[in-house]
Amino acid sequence: MTSLKFTRRLLLGAAAAVLTTSAFAQSAWPDKPIRIIVPYAAGQGADVLIRLVSREIEKTLGQAIVIDNRAGAGGNIGTAAAAKAAPDGYTFLFGTNATNAANEFLYPNLGFDPQKDFDGVAMVGLLPMVIATTAPDLPANGIAELIARAKAKPNTLNVGLPSTTASVVFAQFVKQANAPLFAVKYKASAQSMTDVLGGQIPLVIDTVTAARPHVTSGKLKVLGITSLKPSEMLPGVKSVAEQGVPGFDVVAWDALFAPKGTPPEIVQKVSQHLQRALQNPETRKKMLDIGVEPLYMAPAQLDAFVRDERTKWGATIKAADIRVD
């Protein structure tokens, strides 16, 4: 009996030691640099954004943040690496609407499951697109007139599409507005923008970042922005939804994710640090300058948002038979 009591004491002591060690480990987090995997090349939009935001997070977190660029396969290579990382609070993914919503409907084998392999940490920002033109007889904020012309002469108005996101915006617009436009696909923004500015095509769908310099110079007119509401990045520009296409809302976005199984306490802490970073006026201004509208979402809200986005993007991609070249 005495031996049994002694054994029980040992087990209880060991359990208490494990709990104490676990609590200490969590309280000590972070005690080394944190890695954020960016599934795109250095210098691309997502990379520029997370480097900007991470500098603010470092100030309050008290640890260095290392950006690990793993580009390739439309973001799938880096995202797969993040999915396989240890869920210990020292590796995160800077994901996008492509990696965490659209790619599963575009690629036969991702190497990860965007729904099962990640937990949302925080939304960072939205990247609205614009429908823009150089046509002299189409007015700014002229979505209603564009729809009328498309219906009058079906499939005669060419629209330059430099990305998968632009293709999804186009397909959803054609469907919701019942506007029979003709898609012209390009490899990059520079090519489609050159053609629309040169008069080879009358319309283009692209990011605010790509369009804004030409809008400022007066060479390009924006007919509408694709976010549900207008954006302070383009004052005076109405949303597509305000111009006869109710509920239209197709935007790119960037968000931070953690490998599934990362301690919830750590996820919440990182989310709160990121929220503080987005509240910094200087950070917000810099984000707007690069074409990103700051928007914070907490973990549960982000997870729900991504589920809805996956449904929306998947349905549009399948219906329009959008493919990666």
For residue 49, is it within any domain? Answer: yes
In this structure, the answer to whether residues 138 and 207 fall within a common structural domain is yes
283 vs 106: CA distance, rounded Å: 34
Number of CB atoms found within 10 A of residue 251's CB: 22
For residue 160, is it within any domain? Answer: yes
99 vs 112: CA distance, rounded Å: 10
In this structure, the answer to whether residues 50 and 123 fall within a common structural domain is yes
- Nearest Cα to 274, choosing from 59, 14, 10? 59
For residue 1, is it within any domain? Answer: no
179 vs 148: CA distance, rounded Å: 8
Domain end among 206, 224, 243:
243
Tokens of 279: 């509240």
Domains: count for the chain: 2
CATH number, position 38: 3.40.190.150
Q: What is the pLDDT along the chain (325 residues), one digit of tens a residue?
A: 444 454 455 445 544 444 433 443 456 899 999 999 999 999 999 999 999 999 999 999 999 999 999 999 999 999 999 999 999 999 999 999 999 999 999 999 999 999 999 999 999 999 999 999 999 999 999 999 999 999 999 999 999 999 999 999 999 999 999 999 999 999 999 999 999 999 999 999 999 999 999 999 999 999 999 999 999 999 999 999 999 999 999 999 999 999 999 999 999 999 999 999 999 999 999 999 999 999 999 999 999 999 999 999 999 999 999 988 7
In this structure, the answer to whether residues 75 and 165 fall within a common structural domain is no
Residues spanned by the domain of 166: 129-243
For residue 122, is it within any domain? Answer: yes
176 vs 270: CA distance, rounded Å: 38
CATH number, position 178: 3.40.190.10
For residue 227, is it within any domain? Answer: yes
**Parallel, antiparallel or unpaired: strands 221-225 and 91-96:** unpaired
296 vs 9: CA distance, rounded Å: 48
Domain end among 243, 266, 297:
243
Identify whether the C-beta of residue 225 lies closer than 8 Å to the C-beta of residue 240.
yes
For residue 79, is it within any domain? Answer: yes
pTM of the model: 0.88
SS3 124: strand
In this structure, the answer to whether residues 256 and 181 fall within a common structural domain is no
247 vs 225: CA distance, rounded Å: 13
